[in-house]
Amino acid sequence: MLAARGLADGILGHISLRVEEDLILVRCRGQDERGLGRTSPDDIRLVHLDGSEAAPGELDGYAVPNELPLHSAVLRTRPEVSAVVHAHPPSVVAADLAGIAIRPIVGAFDIPGCRLAAGGVPVYPRGVLVRNDRLGAEMVEAMGDRPVVLLRGHGLTSAGVSVEQAVLQAISVDTIAELSLRITAAGGELADLAEEDMAELPDLGAGFNTGTAWRHELVRAGLRD
Task: Count CB neighbours of 179 within 10 A.
Answer: 18
SS3 assignment, position 112? helix
Q: What is the DSSP string of 182-209?
A: HHHHTT----PPPHHHHHH-----HIII
Q: What is the pLDDT of residue 35?
A: 86
List helix spans (H) across the chain.
Answer: 68-77, 90-97, 111-118, 133-143, 163-185, 195-200, 206, 213-220
If residue 27 lies in a helix (H) or strand (E), which one and from where to where? strand 23-27
| Chain mean position to CA 162 | 11
Q: Which residues are the active-site residues?
A: 67
- Spans in the chain with pLDDT lower than 70: none
Q: What is the pLDDT of residue 175?
A: 97
In a domain, 84, yes or no: yes
Question: Which CATH number covers residue 184?
Answer: 3.40.225.10
Q: What is the pLDDT of residue 72?
A: 98
Write the DSSP symbol of residue 53: B
- Residue 187 is part of which domain span? 14-220
Q: What is the pLDDT of residue 223?
A: 81
In a domain, 55, yes or no: yes
Count: domains in the chain: 1
Distance CA 21, CA 121 (A): 27
Q: What is the pLDDT of residue 11?
A: 87
Q: Is the pTM of this model over 0.85?
A: yes
In a domain, 31, yes or no: yes
Write the DSSP symbol of residue 160: E
In a domain, 191, yes or no: yes
In a domain, 4, yes or no: no
Q: What is the pLDDT of residue 222?
A: 84
